Structure 1
Amino acid sequence: MKQPLLVFNEKGIYCEQADVYIDAWRPVDKCIITHGHADHSRWGHKQYITHHKNTSIIKHRLGDIIVTGKAWNETFVINGVTFSLHPAGHIVASSQVRVEYKGEVWVFTGDFKTENDGLAEAYEPVKCHTFITECTFGLPAFKWTPQAEVFNDINNWWATNQAEGKTSVLFGYSLGKAQRLLKHLDPSIGKIYTHGAVENMTEVLREHYDFHETIRITRETTKDELKGNIVIAPPSAHGGTWIRKMVPYVTASASGWMTFRGARRRRAMDKGFVLSDHADWDGLLESIKTTECEKVITTHGYTDIFARYLREELGYDARTEKTQYEEEGAEVGDKKEKEAAS
């Protein structure tokens, strides 16, 4: 029986012909990295290959590593196997990986979204025979409202809070979501403050991307300075002593999980905005269709449900594979929300 071009083993997704891994979750000699979130770019590999804009991101997170940067659509050949990176649209510098050997083409998406958010490089459909896709939001219940409407709501929320003399605290992951929020906030309303983790990552990204002016929150920052303005912070900052200096404040989370009733309450948020860095149900189906693939492998999210739909309703040769990608740095919903969805 012919060996698949890519296989899933205890270390990650492996191309035996090239002796290369993609987004390995255990240390390997050579690994292609799709993006900077911690569940896809792990410490310990001897050599990293990624998009050149992602090199500074993973160096910031992983420290002193050996990394080679590649351009979009730049081909590189390893032992006869041709690889190239293509925009995934998930977060800044996120890639899909195209793998070709003897006329057979596989594509691994990593994480992706199909809506162009105006910051991350827009998702690029790549034709292939086998498509390895995430399905974080692989249920029909997930259908995103156009981004422009969501950001209009966010800016109106901020303006309302300002009129009431309150600080707006908006939570989003320090890599990806935070910069997307920053890009589309309206600075004419007030000043934009950032938690240190968000500011540190944004400073790394300013080399390649344009953002509004931000002010890092320090121990010297006062309540009066923050009053009426907006603060972007990672979810981990919620509930800690750090937030006390925001009083009086109003909190909000920007996440695809805000689709569900109860998600906002479980996270103890005053407001929820449905804004995801992953493809929704329609985006997942459309992306599969545009690849013109014959086989689909679902890797993380609602894998069983989504693969079954692809087989039974659409006629694809679809199956699931287990991975250790948990959307850690992207947009993970807690277990209660995933259980509620299924």
Structure 2
Amino acid sequence: MEKSLLQFTPKGIYCPEGDFYIDPWWPVDKAIITHAHSDHARRGMTSYISTPITAALMRARISADINVHPLEYGESILINGLRVSLHPAGHIPGSAQVRIEKNGYVAVASGDYKVQADGISTPLEPIRCHEFVTESTFGLPSFRWAAQDEVLTDIIKWWQANAEVEKNSVLIAYALGKAQRLIKPLSENGRIIVHGAVYSMNQALSNAGVQVPLGERISEVTNKKDFKGMLVVAPPSAIGTPWLKRFQPYSLGIASGWMAIRGIRRRRAADVGFVLSDHADWSGLLSTIQETGAHRIYVTHGYSDIFARFLCEQGYDARQVETRFTGEAEEIDLPVIQEDTQSD
């Protein structure tokens, strides 16, 4: 097997021959960004390369003045003789895998990804390669996701039951990706109030050409009688804030893959948990790795040690790669149970 095209350094994933980083943790000259969550897209880079949607989101989240080169899915560029292209990851709108090729040898860094179609993101495109960097946020056999339509049906039933007793329904979901995934189909069932952070991301995505309802802000609700039976979509940071208290009485629900773990809902003081994740479950991770055809697998995030050991038992050359940081995108329940070190 040829020497790896990738190195794992204190600044993040590095391609020495191309002299660029993928989702670096510290400021570098050239950064290729897989998606716009803040644990992958950080400020301070001299230049960025990303999909157009991620570029628009980074301009909204980091600065309008960043130097970013948009690259469409499947479009390739040459960087120091290496052919580099971006391909759909299915994680959130604009998310991408980074494909690097030299003399027919291919490395792929997947960023975060999911197998389920969500109605707003370009579906995952498994890429044939020799070495593959995979996340393992939910890399345990106990994590297996139900179909999205089943989860949406449960949310609608909960919302309707609350409305019948004049309660609002507060649904906690990350502001970028999860919120839009929920708002788009649920908006057909009634009025949805959104937190300012969610509204900002809806607006940025809409401006980038992603079709998602903006939702209503609380300032747009003029009739206080309307404050009964509504669905409110807000990020985890809104829990316990004065902004949320104005919707009382309400039932609190959380949409997260971590709701599959017994006890987390109670620790987050939620009335109900909906198991819905923007990451691949156990079977999704395994099927994606198999479809890549890669033998050398680098495992990051989450249950990386356990998942890497399992892959080795299956005959892969798999190794755990420790990461320096995780951030707000890795996000929803773990301020209580794991110091905010996992995503949902």
| TM-score higher than 0.5 | yes
Q: Deviations over 1:180-202 (max 9, x none)?
A: 111121433x2111011100110
Q: Between 213-222 and 233-242, report the one with greater CA deviation.
A: 213-222
Q: After TM superposition, give the deviation of residue 211 of structure 1 in Å.
A: 2.1
Tell me which residue corresponds to 2:257.
256
Conserved 8 A contact 1:126-1:291: yes
Tell me which residue corresponds to 2:342.
none
Tell me which residue corresponds to 1:124.
125
Tell me which residue corresponds to 1:57.
57
SS class of match (2:300): strand
Tell me which residue corresponds to 1:66.
67
Q: Deviations over 1:291-333 (max 9, x none)?
A: 0111111011100000000111x11110011113526315454
SS class of match (1:215): coil
CA distance in 2, matches of 1:278, 1:329: 12
Q: After TM superposition, give the deviation of residue 227 of structure 1 in Å.
A: 1.1
Q: After TM superposition, give the deviation of residue 114 of structure 1 in Å.
A: 0.5
The one-letter amino acid paired with 1:51 is: T
Tell me which residue corresponds to 2:182.
181
Q: Between 218-227 and 3-12, report the one with greater CA deviation.
A: 218-227
Unpaired stretches in structure 1, ≥5 consecutive residues: none
The one-letter amino acid paired with 1:26 is: W
Q: After TM superposition, give the deviation of residue 243 of structure 1 in Å.
A: 1.2
Tell me which residue corresponds to 1:6.
6
Alpha-carbon RMSD across the aligned residues, in angstroms, is 1.8
Tell me which residue corresponds to 1:233.
234
- 183 and 135 in structure 1: CA distance in 2 versus 1, 3 angstrom threshold: same
Residue 139 in 1 paired to residue 151 in 2? no
Tell me which residue corresponds to 1:22.
22
Tell me which residue corresponds to 2:216.
215
Identity %: 49
Tell me which residue corresponds to 1:115.
116
SS class of match (2:291): helix
Alignment map for 1:68-83 (pairs within 5 Å): 68-83=69-84
- 231 and 289 in structure 1: CA distance in 2 versus 1, 3 angstrom threshold: same
Q: After TM superposition, give the deviation of residue 209 of structure 1 in Å.
A: 1.6
Q: After TM superposition, give the deviation of residue 94 of structure 1 in Å.
A: 0.4
SS class of match (2:57): helix
What number of residue pairs does the alignment pair up?
Answer: 337
Residue 285 in 1 paired to residue 269 in 2? no
Tell me which residue corresponds to 2:100.
99
Tell me which residue corresponds to 2:45.
45
The one-letter amino acid paired with 2:114 is: K
SS class of match (1:97): strand
Residue 303 in 1 paired to residue 268 in 2? no
Q: After TM superposition, give the deviation of residue 45 of structure 1 in Å.
A: 0.2
Tell me which residue corresponds to 2:169.
168
CA distance in 1, matches of 2:336, 2:169: 26
Unpaired stretches in structure 2, ≥5 consecutive residues: 340-344
- 124 and 281 in structure 1: CA distance in 2 versus 1, 3 angstrom threshold: same
Q: After TM superposition, give the deviation of residue 3 of structure 1 in Å.
A: 4.8
Tell me which residue corresponds to 1:151.
152
- Normalising to structure 2: TM-score of the pair? 0.94
Q: After TM superposition, give the deviation of residue 53 of structure 1 in Å.
A: 1.4
CA distance in 1, matches of 2:275, 2:77: 38
